Structure 1
């Protein structure tokens, strides 16, 4: 089978145009084309009057070797890559049961791969099963009641459950592990189109049912889930060779769980666990992250700006964007976790703090588009001196946002025009904010670092020139966005184990090794493989 890439056709092309284009590209007769399957579809909207669809297509043709020989110097025609996943081990009968802490994308796939290899993992989560967790999350959004262990950040599915469900990443993936992730998602109920779309997404409601299905698969393979189970610390002992090793886990309820192999997939908001592991001497270092706000525009503005007369076309869907500006100060301002046709959500996990995030359903048909508008920060410049200083910085501005919003879990919000003018908003304009349990018009400068305010004021007019209407005075900005990524990294070696604690496998976004659903899931697969190889198996 051959793969053709960068095959372009007009947005409104007929079905028969694709096989005709394949034959033209390969310089073959239509009777020599046996079969074709779309491997990937993207769009090129640089020319709004002539939007193109860009295909990668797998084809079976007669005389395949002769056709391939004609294109041996053309990277656009190659053999179709083998994307099948191959397990690295199979559990021996006496294998110890590994423990996975966390049921976000990383923990979910670590648990799934271990279960598929026969290791029967025990999977812990401080939060609840996804349906109960959803009720608790709505409790914050509708009633301003926070459950610190069951919310947007904690519980089955992890933070990615309440997001846009984006399933693409810029990670290097020579083994096509991302394909394994997408394939398992389709088995669990995701639409098959995620296997071919260039920028696939799922949305919150579908993610809920999918994580339930994957839990059932893991349990059927001998895995075991334990929800509402918080880990307070590790049982670590030094062996005869002077190596620190994990022996078990101390649980909040006073229980103890013996474990020699622990996957730590706890997510970027498990601050109390970060602190406990640091206190026990597990090696951790500060890591860069970003801080800013959520910015909202009517989705129709984005559709018109990006797609022009083709706005509303079902193939194109709701328009998204990706923006970045390097400031005179050396700071970078960029869009983050853009959610077309979505809502801004309350995402705190700690009392007395306000955190924003974005979420979309699969349909992406809500009134507004939203995105993080964030400024990159780094330890050496902004929070030096302690590995956990980034957590303190996050808490400082989240607490300030709570006060600025009225100390009720309402979020501080401001019209963009007022933000640029340096005055507090007293009312909002034509853009209606989507954040629940509500917003308080105010001055966002009170809950952001001065350097972030200055950088965003420089970047917004630039973005307005890139996307007309982006810097409209009535655009709503809601604060604060602080959980862009983990502020720490639990350093691991090439064997994926902690550099100073054998048997502990830091993994995913919380450990500082991923960012987003797909990259976290891929990291979970890699760590599961490392655990299996360390335990042993034929």
Structure 2
């Protein structure tokens, strides 16, 4: 049996039999099997949009001396086994927290996940109640609960992180085993969808519990117990974590991993009080833009429907001399805008899509990247950065008197002139919209950059300015970053780790999950 790779261009509405016929025609093989190794959409020419598909073909008719190497061997993730018993606590059940806990448990470490929010079905009920009634649950919402903030998203599985092949393979394989579509293993831009994610996180939970792990839902971390560690000379040079104080009781731990996500501001403040070192870093804020999905389809494809493709996407960037860079982020085709606040007195938005991406609207964050030091023209401490962002989020809540999204048309935002157009526009945002001079609600440098960027986007996608722009998008990444050693251990600590988006060292489902895996492997290797 030999193996070869072949690449083909196929129409968007192809079927597997079409692939089989092409293979037979081009190779002449009578007996063979194949699997798709990579699939991407080439939409550079609207008159010739097609899939580019690479397949791995196996056949007894391929001579061993001319056969290529077998390409379907996955890079294995080697999980060390602990040499002596140990206990670990992982705070947070998002991708970083779950995969850190799962690897530790598989490596023989008795592991507990502490999750402040509820399990996913109860969480879904809580967010539905919030959208319908405006009654906010501070523990279970779009930010907190099983699976982390990513549970209610488009579920993108792309990553710009390098050197995570084994970790990524483990994550994607785990998702497929938990119910994800197998196409995530080969799509160039795979996504799960919020509907699939609810099923997947339950499947992952089942695997973790079957491995002997324990999860405490509706349990808030209140504090951590620490003690100084003396070196051989009797000098105190590090701090050791002894355990965690939670709303469900106190727990001892040999290792504590913080994987809280980047919305847990009160946890960051507690860690700062315990001596954990943070630094500020560049991040991005802005608003969310929304258009009818059929408009985006026409702009990208030249038609409203393209057989075999769910919905059109876009990724836009804009740079100009003397202003901040602007870009779209977390584009949700056929999706909805949601109230993603983590606290009752703040008002922020995010986007999510179902797997089929078949909703009426398309939305995306439109943000400007910046340094808070440069914006405020002074050196900003990490605690100040949290306070600054929290105050901005609170100001949007104060303006709206609740969770309606301050909103205007993109055209109004660009021109800094309020009009009457917003009253005639519909939106996917269920809490409702409130007309607002959004350009005045953001820091002036950020507003100016976004105005220029939106004008640039309108030249790239004609009619882009006919959409609406709403709310505050402030969770693209964390404004602070923990100072940590190789392996994820917090500097100055012996056994306290931070992983995922809350650490400021990763972002997105795959890179956060990979970060959690690497922290867990570091613990297993060094213990």
TM-score range, shorter chain: over 0.9
Give the structure 2 partner of residue 501 of structure 1: 493
1:530 partnered with 2:522? yes
Cα distance between partner residues in 1 of 2:239 and 2:14 = 61
Query: Which range moved further: 1-10 or 494-503?
Result: 1-10
Among 126, 129, 133, the alignment partner of 2:119 is 129
Q: Which of 196, 204, 217 is matched with 2:194 structurally?
A: 204
Q: Which residue of 2 aligns with 1:376?
A: 369
Deviations 1:285-341 (A, max 9, x none): 1121111001000000111111124x4234221111101001222411000110000
- 2:414, 2:452 within 8 Å by CA — same for their partners in 1? no
Measure how far apart 1:16 and its partner are.
5.2
Confirm or deny that 1:354 pairs with 2:347. Answer: yes
Shift of 1:403: 2.3
Are the counterparts in 1 of residues 13 and 308 from structure 2 also a CA contact under 8 Å? no
The alpha-carbon distance between structure 1 residues 177 and 393, as it changes in their structure 2 partners (threshold 3 A), is same
Q: Distance in 1 between matches of 2:208 and 2:15?
A: 43
- The Cα of 1:8 is off from its aligned counterpart by 2.6
Structure 1 pair 200/430, CA: closer, same or farther in 2 (3 Å)? farther
- What pairs up with 1:82-481 in 2 under 5 angstroms? 82-92=73-83, 94-241=84-231, 242-253=236-247, 255-309=249-303, 311-382=304-375, 384-405=379-400, 407-428=401-422, 431-472=425-466, 475-481=467-473
DSSP-derived class of the 2:368 partner: strand
CA-atom RMSD in angstroms? 2.2
Shift of 1:389: 2.7
What's 1:74 paired with? none
Shift of 1:135: 2.0
Confirm or deny: 8 A CA contact 1:352 1:409 kept in the other structure: no
Q: 1:368 offset after TM fit, Å?
A: 0.5
Residue-by-residue CA offset, 1:454-485 (whole Å, 9 max, x unaligned): 1111111211122222122xx11111101111
CA displacement 1:249-278 (0-9 Å, x = unmatched): 342438432112111111010100111111
The Cα shift of 1:352 comes to 1.7
Between 1:230-239 and 1:162-171, the stretch displaced more is: 230-239
Where do residues 478-489 of structure 1 align in structure 2 (5 Å cutoff)?
478-489=470-481
- How many corresponding residue pairs? 519
Bigger shift: residues 298-307 or 195-204: 195-204
TM-score (norm 1): 0.91
Work out the CA distance in 2 between the residues paired with 1:505 and 1:425: 51
CA distance in 1, matches of 2:244, 2:80: 29
The offset of 1:175, in angstroms, is 3.2
Judging changes above 3 Å, is the alpha-carbon distance between structure 1 residues 7 and 526 closer, same or farther for their aligned structure 2 residues? farther
| Structure 1 residue ranges without an equivalent (≥5) | 69-76
8 A contact 2:323–2:449 mirrored in 1: no
In the alignment, the residues of structure 1 paired with residue 153 and residue 255 of structure 2 have an alpha-carbon distance, to the nearest angstrom, of: 30
| 1:67 matched residue in structure 2 | 66
Residue 284 of structure 1: how far off its partner (Å) = 0.9
CA shift, 1:3, in A, is: 6.0
CA distance in 2, matches of 1:468, 1:2: 47
User: Deviation of residue 208 (structure 1)?
Assistant: 1.3
Q: What is the CA–CA distance in structure 1 between the aligned matches of 2:99 and 2:408, rounded to whole Å?
A: 40
Runs of 4+ in 1 over 6 A off after TM superposition: none
Q: Evaluate the alpha carbon distance shift between residue 284 and residue 416 of structure 1 in structure 2; reply closer, same or farther with a 3 A threshold.
A: same
The answer to whether the 8 Å contact 1:248/1:256 transfers is no
1:390 is displaced (CA, Å) by 2.5
Encode CA deviations 1:326-382: one digit per residue, 9 max, x unaligned: 122241100011000011100111122100000111121111100000000124313
Aligned partners of 1:288 and 1:4: how far apart in 2? Answer: 42
Residue deviations 1:33-73 (CA, integer Å, cap 9, x gap): 732210121110011111121112222244455435xxxxx
TM-superposed CA distance for 1:423, in Å, is 2.2
Structure 1 residue 248: Cα displacement: 2.6
Which ranges of structure 2 fall in alignment gaps of 5 or more residues? none
Say which is worse superposed, 383-392 or 489-498, in terms of deviation. Answer: 383-392
Post-superposition offset of 1:487: 1.2
Aligned CA distance change for structure 1 residues 203 and 14 (closer, same or farther; 3 Å): closer
1:138 is displaced (CA, Å) by 2.0
Report if the CA contact (8 A) 1:106-1:521 is conserved: yes
Distance in structure 1 (CA, Å) of the matches to 2:79 and 2:452: 50
